Amino acid sequence: MIYLERLRPAHVTEVHLQPAQQLVQAVLSPGYAEQLVAQPGVAWAALLDGQTLACAGMTEVGPQRAIAWALFSEAALRHFGPIHRATRQILAEAPWRRVEMAVDARHAAAIRWAERLGFVREGLMRAYTADGRDCFLYARVK
């Protein structure tokens, strides 16, 4: 059974990213993980039998605004239903009026998931990532 727990730095460094997110793996150092966990907001890990399947969260960038992020392993994709339902619940309870996220323009599954979560595409951010990939800006406004 999938369960969620508050994000710890070890979760971030333990998750084996799905192929579509492999480029991010290089920055998931222990120092980065500690910074991510220390940010104001909410962050959680999805676990199965002690294995970190996914990490996600919303980092507060103002009193009414947060930036959402997620890291998924391939194993998480096989258990997507419970993770999706938990994420919807956490978003519904989030205190921020506006939650934004950047979604890789070539990652069709991530685009579908953002839209299923109620995010609306607001624009294209050209050469947004460190390696020059384009991303769409999505936002969910209460």
Percent of all residues in the chain with a pLDDT value above 70, rounded to a whole number: 97
pLDDT band with cut points at 50, 70 and 90 for residue 1:
confident
What is the pTM for the complete model shown? 0.89
Q: Is 8 exposed, middle or buried (0-12, 13-18, 19+ CB in 10 A)?
A: middle
- Asked whether the beta carbons of 138 and 101 are under 8 A apart, the reply is yes
Instruction: Considering only residues 24 and 91, tell me which one the structure prediction assigns the higher pLDDT.
Output: 91
Domain chopping of the chain, boundaries: 3-141
Q: Please tell me what DSSP assigns to residue 32.
A: H
* Distance linking the first and last C-alpha atoms of the chain: 31
Answer yes or no: is pLDDT of 26 > 70.
no
Average pLDDT of span 102-129 = 96
Average pLDDT of span 70-81 = 90
- Asked whether the beta carbons of 4 and 53 are under 8 A apart, the reply is no
CA nearest neighbour of 66 among 43, 100, 102? 100
The fold of 3-141 is Aminopeptidase (3.40.630)
Q: Please tell me what DSSP assigns to residue 73.
A: B
**Alpha-carbon span 85 to 52, nearest angstrom:** 17
- Asked whether the beta carbons of 68 and 100 are under 8 A apart, the reply is yes
Average pLDDT of span 55-82 = 92
